[in-house]
Structure 1
Amino acid sequence: MSDTLILVPAGIDTYRQPVVYMREDCHICRAEGFASQTRVRIDLRDRWVIATLNVVAHDGWLAVDNAALSISAWSALGARPGDRARFSHPEPAGSASKVRAKAYGERLNERDFASIIRDTLENRLTDLDLAAFITACAGNRLDGTETVALTRSMQAAGETLDWGGRSVLDKHCVGGLPGNRTTPLVVAIVAATGQLIPKTSSRAITSPAGTADTMEVMAPVTLDERALRRVVEAEGGCVIWGGALNLSPADDHFIRIERSLDFDSTGQLVASVLSKKAAAGSTHVLIDMPVGVTAKVRSAEAAAALSALFLRVGEAIGLRLAVHLSDGTAPVGRGIGPALEAADVLAVLRRRAEAPLDLRARALDLAAHLLDLAPGGVPGEGRARAEALLDSGAAEAKFLAICEAQGGFAEPKLAPHRIELPAPCQGIISAIDNRVIARVAKLAGAPRQKVAGVLLRVQVGDRVSKGQPLYEIHAATPGEAAWAHRYAEQHADALSIAQGPR
């Protein structure tokens, strides 16, 4: 069997990218002309996967007649140690020409996007292909018709949840505002009214924490569809990671590339959000759009254009959708990073005196807007309902019940390493740079290290004295703390201070 090798697990996590490791002197590499980064088709019984080849030196850890598979490739094949698989050149990706066409400015239709998504899910497109596609779609290079087509193609590639004709509420924040962790609060309030709100959330792409990262501090979020339905039928809502479900699965591949590029495009942002909302069975969706000079959406003009695109695509795919514009000029709450944001959420739910008032107000605004949007909602009455549920403790009780249904509640932990950043002078905090503060939190280890991040000690408008702590860096290791501290010192103007009289 000259085209086969014995499979062994490499135990290497390459996320969703299947990777195979082969000796440079193995007979298949020689016979087939395989080299590093070659795309290789691997067939095992009734399964196959296309993987990227990494070549191992002949004096390395791998036997000459073995092929080691990354965790994702091993799982995709359902491999067992000692299995012998067949290796061959895959057919070229048919959609590569569509990626090139888009790079040269051509418009794509739904069939073109479906071809790209199919090849993405079958790993026929390389990371360079995907990076080229995402870059070609960046900015405003996807028009409204293309965005609708991409959204439909992304939804069609996966499962769509059916809730039996019931109305299903949902909300999503476009991001770019550190600490804006309103989703767990909105879900708790809305579910406490008896409405259905099965919230599937993402992990961070370019931010210090995504909703799923923060929620995972307090409860398990990796639930399959059966567990999701059990939680929602029992409690009316959930906050889980959508990546464990087959909802718009191509989006996870795009996100992996976007995370490396540190950007996403307007059209792909809308397609990503709304394809998952439609796939989750949502019927009524509220989009939270923070606007500020250091937020993701930086101007009123950009907000108007993005809102119009959301509304157009939402209508085209059958969603009742509204956009909520919010203040994106400064971080929300005190904590930035999964555990610190979880602590803020709990402080609001528990009605603590130290709870961040801005996070509470934002959550109430969003819950009110969503309740007004819901079937039977009376415009203007949602705010009073939301406040009553939060102030009475009903929202807290519902949140804890959801956590228990998802697998059990846990209190957030504190980081073992903390460094304070002092004010260089006295005065009044006039601005906070969202991007710099988010970067400090990420350098400290967030979101990978759940306890890492930034704890703000002041807000815009506060008067400070020289040497007073402005914020704390929280880290799991001294190296990460020092790394974040160096960057913070280089960007000491992240918190602008309007100097007053001495």
Structure 2
Amino acid sequence: MKLKVKDIDIATGWPLVAVLNEFDALKLDLHYEDRIKIKKGRKSVIAIIDIADSKKIVSCGQIGLYEEVLTKLNAKSGNFVDIFLVEKPVSIQYIKKKLKGKKLSYKEFYQIIDDIIKNKLSEIEITYFVSACYMHELDIEETVSLTKAMINTGEILKFNKYPVIDKHCIGGVAGNRTTMVVVPIVAAAGLTIPKTSSRSITSPSGTADTMEVLCNVCFSIKEIKKIIKKTNACLVWGGSVNLAP
């Protein structure tokens, strides 16, 4: 089916979402949270669909695209795109398996994590996965499998130095910036301590937010390696890179 693009002018942040008019969705036998492949020229993306019951949002013959989808397709309002039906990710079956209390293999954990990384699962589906692991606790073998899957689906920094030090704390205490004190001390002692931190989660300002007052915290993998080579350490925002886990 060929549909006309309408720019929704909203960014979701994640995942990739497209909006269909309810009558077009009915023609294609599509339902909320189903997947479609959207193709424009040589570019294509797989998006999760939302359904509009009002033509004020998306009319028949139109497809509403959020900013992330528009960017990936290099599309704009008025362009035409082709729509194809696609199956839901197989990882959803593995999530259902865990919900039933069954044990998952490394291959199944890897598929789930890989689909999360590639934005193939919706927030609802990820919530089901977390809930399944909460209700049916992972045994030691599953814990190892999940950990390895998280490592193997992201980029890894390797150093020709030993040891490489890490530092963690539970966080959540406003103004408790231990990382900004500990990391320079460890680096000054001649040890290598690459540190990624989060932005605000439960407190008014996360470590990355606080550090950003003093300097930039968004760097590429190549830039991070250069900083560590020069200073023995880094203090960067983890969200700016695809490091494992």
Which one of the candidate residues 159, 163, 171 is aligned to 2:159? 163
The whole-number CA distance in structure 2 between the counterparts of 1:195 and 1:170 is 10
* 1:52 has 2:49 as partner: yes
- Is 1:74 matched with 2:74? no
Does the CA-based 8 Å contact 1:36-1:55 persist in structure 2? no
The answer to whether the Cα contact below 8 Å between 2:22 and 2:51 also exists between their aligned partners in 1 is no
The alpha carbon displacement at 1:154 in A equals 1.0
Alpha-carbon separation, structure 2, partners of 1:181 and 1:140 = 35
Matched, 1:119 2:86: no
* Residues 106/209 of structure 1: CA separation in 2 closer, same or farther (3 Å cut): farther
Is 2:204 the counterpart of 1:188? no
What is the CA-CA distance between 1:110 and the residue it aligns to? 0.9
Number of corresponding residues: 243
Cα contact 2:15–2:122 (8 A) shared by 1: no
Work out whether residues 37 and 85 of structure 2, in 8 Å CA contact, stay in contact via their aligned partners in 1: yes
Give secondary structure in 1 for the equivalent of 2:134. Answer: coil
Q: Answer 1 or 2: which has greater helix percent.
A: 1
* Alpha-carbon contact 1:51-1:73 (below 8 Å) kept: no
Report the residue type matching 2:11 in the other structure. Answer: D
State yes or no: 1:99 paired with 2:95.
yes
Identical residues among aligned pairs (%): 33
Choose the corresponding residue for 2:2, options 4, 24, 32. 4
* Structure 2: gaps (5+ residues): none
SS in 1 for 2:168: strand
What amino acid sits opposite 2:74 in the alignment?
A
**Cα gap change, 1:159 to 1:135, in 2 (>3 Å):** same
Which structure exhibits the higher relative contact order, with contacts defined as CA atoms closer than 8 Å and separated by 6 or more residues? 2
1:148 maps to: 144
2:217 equivalent to 1:221: yes
- Find 1:14's aligned residue among 6, 12, 15: 12
| TM-score normalised per structure 2 | 0.84
Kindly tell me: are residues 29 and 152 of structure 1, through their superposed partners in 2, closer, same or farther at Cα, counting changes over 3 Å? same
Contact 1:98-1:112 within 8 A present in 2 as well:
yes
**Displacement after TM superposition at 1:99 (Å):** 1.0
- Once the two structures are superposed, what CA deviation does each residue of 1:307-363 show, in whole Å capped at 9, x if it has no partner? xxxxxxxxxxxxxxxxxxxxxxxxxxxxxxxxxxxxxxxxxxxxxxxxxxxxxxxxx
TM-score, normalised relative to structure 1: 0.44
Distance 2:162 2:64 in 1: 47
Deviation at 1:63, TM superposition (A): 5.5
Query: Would the alpha carbon gap of residues 229 and 122 (structure 1) be closer, same or farther in structure 2, given more than 3 Å must change?
Result: closer
Distance 1:239 1:178 in 2: 18
Q: Any conservation in 2 of the 1:42–1:51 contact (CA below 8 Å)?
A: no
> In the TM superposition, what is the alpha-carbon distance from 1:104 to its structure 2 partner?
2.1
Provide the residue aligned with 1:407 in structure 2. none
Q: CA deviation at 1:149?
A: 0.8
Relative to 1, partners in 2 of residues 1:54 and 1:211: Cα closer, same or farther, differing over 3 Å? farther
Does the 8 Å CA contact 2:11/2:68 hold for their aligned counterparts? yes
Give the 3 Å change call, closer, same or farther, for CA 93–222 of structure 1 in structure 2: same
- Partner of 2:166: helix, strand, or coil? strand
RMSD: 2.6
Match of residue 438 from structure 1: none
Give, in angstroms, the shift of residue 217 of structure 1.
3.2
Which protein is bigger by CA-based radius of gyration?
Answer: 1
Q: Is the 8 A contact 2:99 2:136 kept in 1?
A: no
Q: Note the residue ranges of structure 1 that are not aligned, 5 or more in a row.
A: 249-275, 277-502
**Residue 29 of structure 1: CA displacement?**
2.7
Q: 1:230 aligns with which of 220, 226, 232?
A: 226
